[in-house]
Structure formats: structure tokens, C-alpha cells
Amino acid sequence: MLTSPPLPPNAIRWLAALNIHSRADLQRAGVVRAFLLLKASGHTATERLLFALAAAARGEHWSALDDASRTALRQAAAKHPPVRPLPPQAERQAFMTEALTLAAEAAQHGEVPVGAVVVQHGRIIGRGYNRPLGSHDPSAHAEMLALREAAANIGNYRLHGCQLYVTLEPCAMCAGAILHSRLDHVLYGAAEPRTGAAGSVLNLFAERRLNHHTAIDGGIAADAATALLADFFAQRR
């Protein structure tokens, strides 16, 4: 379990809320990511806490960190992609279940089973499932259709304060539209090793030269999303 020292008691409580309870948990989460999640959660997370987290992950006191290690931590924090705390598990499950239902509908129409929903203040404002074949439109991916409906519903293409749940890692086209829409957070199911633009092939969300930074988290109901895709392509074969 994490202890004080090297971590302040408040930090241990904050980390517990992120389901980080032990040195192994901290190592798996990543020191810099854990630090940035604490900041994103509204906690006072100073540079000294970053060093304390690194020390805790190593099993030593923060004062033992040398100058090179501290410089590397500062640089890693500056270059890290944006992060946001995950919504509660029940919320994640409910919205991803809706996206999976839409993905199944795509499969019924002979489309690759991908579904997406846009959520604002706990309410779905946009839905979409893959329709490029039926609509003769190469841009009619689930994410694009969900973004269009959400923007139309609120009368603004800027979707600040919104989350997108999608069953498959976005491609470069969808990632670009997501960034342009100023979405806060994307939560996806299965990774896409051939065209994924959220880390599998490239990570547009980590490109700091772009004009907005959307946080991204994968692996949400990944098994169910992967099973839908596997069943679809097995039937096609």
C-alpha cells in the first residue's frame, strides 16, 4: 500500500479515488499520468508531488531523486497527452452499452459494427452507427454521424463539455473531426491495429501542435466490442 512518507496523506486519498492504492497500481497507471489526473480532478498537484509520486513508484523518498530524474519528469509532464478522470463505472457501462447496441444495428445492415454516442451532462445528445455502404458516403462513420447529430441538437459544432463513447478506436478522419469539435473526452472499446489514430498506428490526440487537446481512454467494454467485430467478419467469410 502507498504510505506517508513519501506521499502526503491527502495525495494517498486522492489516488485511492482513482483506484490507485499500491506501488504496483501507481507503476501501472504511470507516474506522470497519475499526477496529471490529480490535476485534472481539481487537486493542488505541485511539482513536488510529481517527484513524490516518482519516488513512491521507485520505493524511495522524493529527496533521493537526482536533478536528471527531476528534469525528465518535468519534460514528460509537459509533453504528455491530455488526461481526464474516467466517469463512474456505471455511467461508462450504460453509455458504452448504448454504443454497442448501435454497433449491432450496423451489423444488421451489413456495415462494420461500430456504434457511437455523444454525451452531455449525463444525457445522450447524438447517436451514430457505421453507414458508409448504405449511404454511399466514405465519411459516414459512427463517430461522424454522432457528432453531426449532437452538433445539430445543441446548435453548435463546438462540443465543449461532451464525451464520445465509441466501440472502436477512431481512425484519422474521425480523430480530426473529434479534435475540431472540441470534445472533452473520448472513451473507446476495441483497439484498431490497422487504422487506429488514438495510439495503435498514430496518436493525433497527443499531437500538441493541433489547436485542441481531447483526452482519450480505451479498453472500455473492449471484449464485447471485439466480439461484435469478430462475429461480423466470421459471418462474412
Residue 80 labelled as part of a binding site: no
Residue 162 labelled as part of a binding site: no
Which H or E element spans position 119? Answer: strand 115-120
Max CA pair span of the chain: 62
Q: How many CA atoms within 13 Å lie on the side-chain side of 17?
A: 13
Catalytic annotation, residues: 143
Residue 141 labelled as part of a binding site: yes
Contact between residue 166 and residue 142 where contact means Cβ atoms under 8 Å apart = yes
Contact between residue 172 and residue 204 where contact means Cβ atoms under 8 Å apart = yes
Q: How far is CA 91 from CA 35, 97, 163, in A?
A: 24, 10, 11
Q: Residue 117 and residue 139: Cα distance in Å, rounded?
A: 17
Which stretches within 60-208 are classed as H helix?
67-79, 89-108, 132-135, 142-154, 172-181
Backbone torsions φ then ψ of 135, nearest 5 degrees = -95, -5
Backbone torsions φ then ψ of 191, nearest 5 degrees = -75, 155
Q: What type of residue is 73?
A: L
In terms of Cα–Cα distance, which of 172, 170, 204, 166 is closest to 188? 166
Contact between residue 113 and residue 235 where contact means Cβ atoms under 8 Å apart = no
- Residue ranges of the annotated binding site are 141, 171, 174
Binding-site positions for Zn(2+): 141, 171, 174
